[in-house]
Amino acid sequence: MFDKILTVFRIPELRQKILLTIGLLAVYRMGFWIPLPFIDQAQLSTYIADLQKQQGGFGQVMQIVALFSASSVGNSTIFGLGIMPYISASIIFQLMGSVYPPLERLQKEGEAGRKKINEYTRYATVLICLGQSYMWVRALSGGLGSGQGLIIPNFDTFYYHIVCTVTMTAGTILLMWMGEQIDAYGIGNGISLLIMAGILARMPQAGWSLIEPALEQGVKLGTETGIERMLLLGCLFVFVVVGVIFMTQGQRRIPIQSAKHVRGRRVMGGQRQSLPLRVNQSGVMPIIFASSLLMIPFFLFQQLSNVWPQNLTLSMLSDAFGSGRGYIYNMFYIILIYFFCYFWTAITFNPKDIADNLKDHGSFIPGYRPGFRTADYLEKVMVRITYVGAAFLSLVAIIPTVISSAMGINFLIASFYGGTGLLIVVSVALDLVQKVDSHLIMRNYSGLMDTEEGR
């Protein structure tokens, strides 16, 4: 394996791509140490830490938001918004492409239409950044509801709002540009790599929070960080990662037969191939949508319980969707994941287009006539495997909350055992390895995952 890694860096073009990608990711991480101007960072850090201790639900929500966006909003840095505004704009245009005819026509125009949609996405990203950054800056100037502003005194409020809003917007636009540079001149998907880097950067903090108690009381049986718990967490992590890789790579292969045709004295076609349908067709989007929607009732019930503190029902609902993370939260979480799995698959998977493409290329599925029958069969197959994929996503999504509540460990540590973070890391890592393998195979080298027998 070490020889294969050395081979990767012996290829000049591939070495330049990897070094450029690493350099841009390093710049991305450096931006998280550059704070916004005029903010009392010490007071802000103390306030966020106290709030997370008092309201575990708020702390988990802040961690989920930071996880999705590869951001550090709580620290108020120039990259505080992360890349989430660009992702939101991309999702909006992808959804509109299925219901808005002009965008649908652009999607079918190939490379020219894709460039035009990317241009619209950039403009929408700027507008979203301006709105989100201004709201966050206004929250800071009001002390996030604490009644005391977190900005350094003796600065004009309007000037402070404008400077910080433009700074955070420029930071997100820079991240968007870096992601596009990685796509064009680096290796891998730039936006996905930025998110993965943000997730992996949290691992040292999570590991330290798990090991720190052991330095005080020792890793002994029956203690808070006992050796039996360490071994259990290690085995569980390996099991979850292997399961995620297995389901992420899982496919249902539909046999396809190409029609025979005669050209001169030669008979062409007649080959059997397969059409791979991914079990997890929707990727991580259902978990992102479900988690985002479940933040709404948490904040809603929390505000209502503050207005009517004597109402026990509102307090119970606030705990159920916030710090409790109990049966009610998990039940709605699973229901929403199933809904968005089918919703996203219906948008991204069009069986009619696939059936028409097979018909145009002279291919068919044995036992089904080309056209409507083939499209109907593909839709039924996708409905069945989507049910399995949704069950897999639901299991992975609730693993962090189950581990956090059952074993009494920090949610930051439990989040590495499932949820969107683990799916993103595994998916991006597999995609990165496949792209490196494609460069090696083009130059007659064996891939990173090839065995000696596979040579």
d(CA 162, CA 81) in angstroms, rounded, equals: 16
The secondary structure of 84-102, three-state, reads: HHHHHHHHHHHHHCCCCHH
CA separation (Å) from 353 to 8, 112, 278, 446? 39, 20, 17, 36
The DSSP call for residue 445 is P
Tell me the β-bridge partners of 35. Answer: 77
The number of beta carbons lying within 10 Å of the beta carbon of residue 135 is 11
Q: Are 393 and 286 in contact (CB under 8 A)?
A: yes
- Residues 433 and 448: beta-carbon distance below 8 Å: yes
DSSP state of 144: G
Give pLDDT tens digits along the chain (455 positions): 667 777 777 888 888 999 999 999 999 888 878 887 777 666 666 666 665 554 445 555 555 555 555 555 555 778 888 888 888 888 888 778 777 888 888 877 877 888 888 889 999 999 998 988 888 777 776 655 444 556 666 555 677 778 888 998 999 999 999 998 998 888 888 888 888 888 888 777 777 777 776 666 665 655 556 677 777 777 877 888 888 888 888 888 888 887 766 666 666 666 778 888 888 888 777 887 787 777 777 777 777 777 777 777 777 777 666 654 567 778 888 898 899 889 888 888 888 888 888 888 778 888 888 888 888 999 999 999 999 989 988 888 888 777 777 777 766 677 776 667 777 788 888 888 888 888 888 877 776 666 554 44
160 contacts: CB under 8 Å, gap ≥ 6 = 38, 137, 141, 151
SS3 content of the chain, % helix, strand, coil (to 5): 70, 5, 20
Backbone angles phi, psi at 252, to 5 degrees: -105, 115
Q: Which long-range contacts (CB under 8 A, 24 or more apart) does 96-104 make?
A: 98/347
Domains of the chain: 1-201 (1.10.3370.10), 250-417 (1.10.3370.10)
| Three-state secondary-structure class, residue 76 | coil
Residue 190 identity:
G
- Decide: 176 and 122 in contact? Cβ < 8 Å: yes
Nearest to 34 by CA among 72, 87, 90, 84: 72
Cross-strand bridge partners of residue 274: 255
- Kindly write down the DSSP assignment for every residue of 93-162, as one continuous string: HHHHTTT-HHHHHHHTTTHHHHHHHHHHHHHHHHHHHHHHHHHHHHHHHTGGGTSS--BPSSS-HHHHHH
- Residues 425 and 285: their CA atoms lie apart, in Å, by 14
First to last CA, the chain: 14
Cα angle value 398/404/410 (rounded, 5°): 130
| Tokens at 309, concatenated | 């503190």
CA atoms of 130 and 166, how far apart (whole Å): 7
Three-state DSSP at 325 gives coil
Question: Phi/psi of residue 306, each to 5°?
Answer: -75, -35
- Cα angle vertex 454, ends 449, 455, to 5°? 100
The Cα–Cα gap between 419 and 279 comes to 17
Cα(439)–Cα(8) distance, rounded to whole angstroms? Answer: 9
User: Tokens in use for 277?
Assistant: 């349908």
Element (H, E) at 350: none
The pTM of this model reads 0.77
Asked if 79 and 71 touch (Cβ cutoff 8 Å), the reply is yes
Q: Residues near 198 by Cβ (< 8 Å), separated by ≥ 6?
A: 66, 67, 69, 70, 71, 82
364: left (phi over 0), alpha (psi -120 to 50) or beta: beta
Q: What DSSP state is assigned to residue 446?
A: P
Residue 42 structure tokens: 């010490």
Q: How far apart, in Å, are the Cα atoms of 351 and each of 95, 348, 381?
A: 17, 10, 10
Q: What tokens were used for 200?
A: 């992996």
